[in-house]
């Protein structure tokens, strides 16, 4: 059988056909970092193959592209019939399918990570928040080699423009469905905490159509984050960066292609890929030759691939891979306020509360409102990290997150709630589900595994361009905007210096 000489594995008769394909630049992942790379390379006239393990989720007119949070099904879960979303107590049995959420639990059982799957990656399931850290918060989180002035002047504005970030328009804010949003603003005003707007990546015309009843209500009833947005109001990367890349004809996006590992060769790199079905079976094994490979599978996915490639002898990497990982200091809670009426009060975030001084960087966004409650996501910055490890027997990652770190996170965020409660009699907060994060960061960190533009040290043509680059925290803010801005910064340097 042709194409059966590879470094690892064999050509047994029970295996699917294997093919070796000569290809251009390879990008692994279609989230914030991978989509930036695809577009900027396409602009420069460079052809790419973009591998996405999940499927393409085109918004359907019947409003049933994604499942709801209350009624999960196979579309909810990445190839795991035993679905257990941390914010919803209890496991649910679903069909095995290439759903939008991969839930990765630590073997210690003290933390769960939720990662996106599908064209758009994490942007399919994120809450839309695109907030820039302050300079103080940025400097506490990111390496000193990253110039905040340059980020503020060039890369944050570029990322906001490309992602369609803007604050909630006044006409939408005045709608009854946004009562909780206005209550959140009033809470922060009375708290004495610093208040700042929370720009979001939504198409407000689609939101208006929701409110008029012309499209399925999704964002306006709180069904936009985690499960996906059935109205199409979320500006996922498949609708901006990646779409523009594909329109050039230079980005070949291949869905249901799960990269297994990368192997260094005398000619560059061989990318080993399983082409899978919608139920996860391998239908074809591919080997793609590339001079350059961009890892953009998210902090968990990219670190998994690097560690697996190291374990299989494909890449020679040091012990730094997997280190400096953290949860962005996430802590979810539900707030109750007597100013809220019963009923549905939902929508995107409009405000953040924060406390920043020499000893503490903590922020809280008002994320969503189920009934008369308001969900909040608190974030802080610690000097403490966990790490991602690799189990060669299971051929998969595990991760370690210290209980001491989560206790410090929860205490810092509780301090914000205490300030809000003190200024708003009748309000209170309670924890929301078991400890979890939607913002894993680190594992292939700048200055350790990569240089400060994502080049993997000692491996010419190998790059990391996603949240794995960031050492665990992004200034007590949702990391989406910072990941995108750092990817833009990296691509400028790579295209200028690497050809």
Give me the active site residues, please: 365, 439
What would the two tokens of residue 267 be? Answer: 């000619």
Q: CB atoms < 10 A from the CB of 156, how many? A: 24
**What 3-state DSSP class applies to 340?**
coil
Joined together, the tokens standing for residue 343 give: 């009923």
| Residue 82 · residue 95 · CB < 8 Å | no
CA dist 70 and 376 (Å) reads: 19
| CA 23/CA 186 separation, integer angstroms | 55
CA angle 325, 328, 330 (to 5 degrees): 125
Burial (CB count <10 Å: 0-12, 13-18, 19+), residue 112: buried
Which among 373, 410, 10, 17 has a CA at the least distance from the CA of 179? Answer: 373
Q: How far apart are the first and last CA of the chain?
A: 37
Instruction: Report whether 482 contacts 129 (CB < 8 A).
Output: no
Task: Report the relative pairing of strands 462-464 and 293-295 from DSSP bridges.
Answer: parallel
Question: Distance of CA 152 to CAs 165, 187, 197, 381, 472, Å?
Answer: 15, 29, 16, 20, 20
**Residue environment code for 419-437, b if the CB has 16+ CB neighbours within 10 A, otherwise e:** bbbebbeebebeebeebbb
CA distance 329 to 433: 16
Place of tokens 């999940």: 54
In this structure, the chain runs to a length of: 499
What residues are paired with 375 via a beta bridge?
334, 368
């Amino acid at each position: 059988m042709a194409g059966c000489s590879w470094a690892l594995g064999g050509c047994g008769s029970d295996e699917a056909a294997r093919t070796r394909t000569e290809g251009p630049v390879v990008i692994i992942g279609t989230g914030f970092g991978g989509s930036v790379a695809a577009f900027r390379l396409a602009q420069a006239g460079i052809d790419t193959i973009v591998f996405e393990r999940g499927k393409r989720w085109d918004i359907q007119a019947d409003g049933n592209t994604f499942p709801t949070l209350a009624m999960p099904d196979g579309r909810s879960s990445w190839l795991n019939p035993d679905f257990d979303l941390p914010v919803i107590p209890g496991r649910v049995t679903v069909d095995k399918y290439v759903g939008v959420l991969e839930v990765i639990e630590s073997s210690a059982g003290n933390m769960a990570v939720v990662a996106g799957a599908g064209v758009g990656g994490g942007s399919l399931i994120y809450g839309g928040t695109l907030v820039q850290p302050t300079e103080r918060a940025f400097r506490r989180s990111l390496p000193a080699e990253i110039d905040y002035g340059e980020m503020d002047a060039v890369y944050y504005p570029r990322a906001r423009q490309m992602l369609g970030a803007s604050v909630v328009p006044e006409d939408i804010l005045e709608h009854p469905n946004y009562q909780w949003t206005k209550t959140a603003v009033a809470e922060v005003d009375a708290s004495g905490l610093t208040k700042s707007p929370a720009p979001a990546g939504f198409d407000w015309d689609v939101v208006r159509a929701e409110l008029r009843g012309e499209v399925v209500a999704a964002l306006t009833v709180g069904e936009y984050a985690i499960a996906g947005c059935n109205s199409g109001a979320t500006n996922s990367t498949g609708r901006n960066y990646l779409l523009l890349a594909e329109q050039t004809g230079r980005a070949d996006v291949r869905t249901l292609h799960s990269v297994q590992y990368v192997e260094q060769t005398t000619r560059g790199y061989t990318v080993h890929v399983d082409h899978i079905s919608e139920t996860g079976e391998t239908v074809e094994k591919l080997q793609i030759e590339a001079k350059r490979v961009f890892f953009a599978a998210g902090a968990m996915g990219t670190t998994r691939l690097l560690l697996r490639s190291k374990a299989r002898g494909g890449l020679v990497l040091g012990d730094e891979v997997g280190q400096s990982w953290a949860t962005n200091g996430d802590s979810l809670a539900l707030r109750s306020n007597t100013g809220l009426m019963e009923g549905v009060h939902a929508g995107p975030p409009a405000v953040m509360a924060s406390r920043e001084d020499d000893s503490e960087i903590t922020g809280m966004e008002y994320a969503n409102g189920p009934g008369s409650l308001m969900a909040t996501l608190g974030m802080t910055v610690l000097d403490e990290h966990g790490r991602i490890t690799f189990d060669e027997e299971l051929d998969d990652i595990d991760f370690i997150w210290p209980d001491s770190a989560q206790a410090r996170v929860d205490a810092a965020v509780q301090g914000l709630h205490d300030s809000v409660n003190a200024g708003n009699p009748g309000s209170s907060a309670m924890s929301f589900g078991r400890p979890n994060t939607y913002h894993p960061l680190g594992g292939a960190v700048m200055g350790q595994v990569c240089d400060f533009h994502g080049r993997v040290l000692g491996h010419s043509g190998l790059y990391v361009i996603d949240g794995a680059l960031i050492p665990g925290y992004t200034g007590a803010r949702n990391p989406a905007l910072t990941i995108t801005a750092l990817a833009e910064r990296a691509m400028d340097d790579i295209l200028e210096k690497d050809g």
